[in-house]
Amino acid sequence: MILEKAPASLGSMEMLHEGPFVAGALTSVVFKYTAGADGLQSGAKVRVGVPNTGWEMPVPPQQRYWDELVQGTDRRIAPFHPTNTTVSVTTQGSAKAVITVMERMLVPDEDPAFAYWRWWITATVEGGDLAPGDTLSIVYGDRKLGIDGVQVQSFPEDHINVTAYVQKDAQSEFLALGEPIYFDVVSGPASRVNIVMPSVSESDTVTAKISLTDASHCKPQAGEAVVLSVGDDTLQCIAGTHAEVNLPVAQLPSTKFVEVSSGTTWGYANPTVAPASDGLNLYWGDLHAQSEHHVMHSQKKDFRQQGWSKGISCGTLDECYQYGREVSMLDFVAMTDQGACLTAAWEYCQQKVREYHDPGKFVTFKAYEAGAPTGHRNVIYVTDTIEPPMDAKKFNGFHPPVLYDYYRERGDALMIPHHVKTWTDWSFHDPELEPVMEVYSCWGQSESPSREMWNKGMTPGAGAWNAYARGYRMGMMASSDNHVGMPGRSFPGDRQAHTPFKGGLCAVWADELGRENIYNTLKARRCYGTTGARIVVRFSIDGKPMGSSVAPQGETVNAEIEIAGSDALRSVEVIASDGTVHKVELERNLDRVHQKITLPVLAGGFHYLRIAQVDNERAWTSPIFFEGQQ
């Protein structure tokens, strides 16, 4: 049901704010209610719904006493409680107001633009009635409290709405107070650079690609130009385009990119290592990102074609692919919009995969997310045939056995379970279709039961460690699960309150940058995941790389570990299937390690690496498995 509109006699609402909302900035907003000809009775409520998609939570003053016992001028506030949102009343009478905050959906409704989750700020009138012309002002980010404001979502987005509702009296239903108030969030000015260079190079110098971003890692407004100094060189960067500079490998990753006019460091180069005897290159990608075609809890109606859905994510597919290619400078991308394969936009999504695919430079995968109560999986195709939408009756719910039967017969896709600490029911698993799992994203880490980098509940039996306890031979990788149209963006705070962590990246050791090459590398589990840093990791046992199965004859094996960090290494641990942890000895403040160690053979078990840097960036490798029975 849609709530009925309030008559003009019940008043009006306006939003007062200076200038545009800038992504990631601090702001203060006033929601001013003016009572209409009917006034507003004591006990009635005015409710404002502000976005919860990355916006700071409104925090009202903490009341000292129970509402049932103390109201109006008798209320007292706890001064030690942090507060960012206030309410005040301008009246000739005795009316006051008190506010509460909750994160809810408005109503179960078929029109998602109104049913969408929000922070609801509710002001209750008490101590007297509001007369016609009286005002009630809610200040979200009240700077009179000594704060700089509240944080705006960390990504640009247009056509966001605030909705307001009012009661005639305490017993009445809420009515919609005027039309929704629409506004835009824009990216900020350039204030940092993203720098990417080959992780593997046999040359003494490498070419660094540089792109500008704002403080929240968003693409700045097109055309902004910045001059940077790199060693003895200077170069000009223009927002929306690349600059390039050659750098000596010996000086990486400590090479600074300094903004000339201010003298501040805007970024650092990532590490590069020499090729190994296997001749493989290291490629970086994001296999879990969403666009506006993510259909879950669709927020906006699409104006381009009837039947297209727009979801809780934002960003057109063009914006997503261009960000991944030009700003994150990824090697490969899969846009995995939840349920997109069931919608009228599916053919359009597949066309964009073809349009942006550029073998050897930028690889795109046809993909979608299949979310079910028993776990979420990203379906990654090795083909790019444009097909009609899938049968919604057959695939609605994405029950794993239905997916397994369908894709076993097709033979052109794999599935990657993700945020496997929640929902994942490991009684469902296909070893051929599910060679790897995602153990890190903006949801946090699912590799271990540790609460570190995790702030949610855990489903009993879920998590990577429980998959391994069942004997599953799955590799590990990471991606972003980005919902803001920016694949590869590694910045804390996505659209959803339960995704506060930085996005991750998937690293694969492949012979060349092609769709089949990357796909086959994932099938071979020759991959690992990071929290977003381009940490170079090689791990082998008896010459076999991560993801392999080995059948040694003795009781020990020879392991080789080579790591080039983007910062100093804090710890390198070899995690064994029997629960033991071998800590690799590290020299203090070094960002590189290359060691050969002896490890025990664990029949039917495995070893993998868990890596932590001083700056708290992490990496997890796929295990190397031993043949035999545990």
Domain boundaries, the chain: 8-186, 192-268, 281-532, 535-630
- Span 138-163, average pLDDT: 94
Residue 95 pLDDT level (bands cut at 50, 70, 90): very high
Q: Nearest-5° angle of CA 372, CA 377, CA 378?
A: 135
- Of 184, 195, 116, nearest to 155 by C-alpha is 184
CATH of 8-186, one of 3.40.50.300, 2.60.40.1510, 3.40.640.10, 2.60.40.10: 2.60.40.1510
Name residue, tokens 């076993």: 408
Predicted local distance difference test score (pLDDT) of residue 115: 54
Strands 256-259 and 332-335, how do they pair? Answer: unpaired
Asked whether the beta carbons of 530 and 619 are under 8 A apart, the reply is yes
Predicted local distance difference test score (pLDDT) of residue 492: 87
Residue 162 has pLDDT above 50, yes or no: yes
The enclosing H or E element of 545 equals strand 544-545
- Span 198-227, average pLDDT: 92
Q: What is d(CA 287, CA 73) in angstroms, rounded to the nearest whole number?
A: 56
Strands 618-621 and 581-583, how do they pair? Answer: unpaired
Predicted local distance difference test score (pLDDT) of residue 19: 76
Q: Nearest-5° angle of CA 219, CA 224, CA 226?
A: 100
How many other C-beta atoms lie within 10 A of the C-beta of residue 549?
A: 13
How many other C-beta atoms lie within 10 A of the C-beta of residue 181?
A: 17
Asked whether the beta carbons of 572 and 581 are under 8 A apart, the reply is no
**Comparing 242 with 208, which gets the higher pLDDT?**
208
Predicted local distance difference test score (pLDDT) of residue 310: 47
Tell me the per-residue pLDDT of 411-469, one tens digit each, with 9 for 90 and over.
999 999 998 998 899 999 999 999 999 999 999 999 999 999 998 889 999 999 999 99
Q: End-to-end CA distance of the chain: give it in Å, rounded.
A: 57
Six token digits for residue 293: 């075609």
Tell me the per-residue pLDDT of 386-405, one tens digit each, with 9 for 90 and over.
999 999 889 878 999 999 99
Residue 110 pLDDT level (bands cut at 50, 70, 90): very low
Predicted local distance difference test score (pLDDT) of residue 309: 41
Q: What is the DSSP letter of 311?
A: -
Q: What is d(CA 280, CA 227) in angstroms, rounded to the nearest whole number?
A: 35
Six token digits for residue 151: 């944080």
- Of 141, 117, 212, 151, nearest to 23 by C-alpha is 151
Residue 274 pLDDT level (bands cut at 50, 70, 90): very high
Q: What is d(CA 95, CA 71) in angstroms, rounded to the nearest whole number?
A: 11
Residue 109 has pLDDT above 90, yes or no: no
CATH superfamily ID and name for 281-532: Metal-dependent hydrolases (3.20.20.140)
- Span 330-341, average pLDDT: 95
Residue 298 has pLDDT above 80, yes or no: no
- Of 146, 155, 180, 164, nearest to 21 by C-alpha is 155
Residue 148 has pLDDT above 80, yes or no: yes
Q: What is the DSSP letter of 519?
A: H
pTM of the full structure: 0.92
Residue 311 pLDDT level (bands cut at 50, 70, 90): low
Six token digits for residue 188: 């900020």
CATH superfamily ID and name for 535-630: Immunoglobulins (2.60.40.10)
Predicted local distance difference test score (pLDDT) of residue 471: 96
Q: What is d(CA 40, CA 34) in angstroms, rounded to the nearest whole number?
A: 10
Residue 577 has pLDDT above 90, yes or no: yes
- Of 482, 479, 476, nearest to 464 by C-alpha is 476
Predicted local distance difference test score (pLDDT) of residue 158: 87
**Mean pLDDT score of the chain, rounded to an integer?**
91
Residue 114 has pLDDT above 90, yes or no: no
Identical fold, 281-532 and 535-630: no
Q: Looking at the chain, how many residues does it have?
A: 630
Residue 299 has pLDDT above 90, yes or no: no
- Span 153-172, average pLDDT: 92
Predicted local distance difference test score (pLDDT) of residue 254: 82
Say what percent of the chain tops pLDDT 70: 95
Residue 221 pLDDT level (bands cut at 50, 70, 90): confident
- Residue 487 class from Cβ within 10 Å (0-12 exposed, 13-18 middle, 19+ buried)? buried
Gyration radius from the chain CA atoms: 27
Residue 240 pLDDT level (bands cut at 50, 70, 90): confident
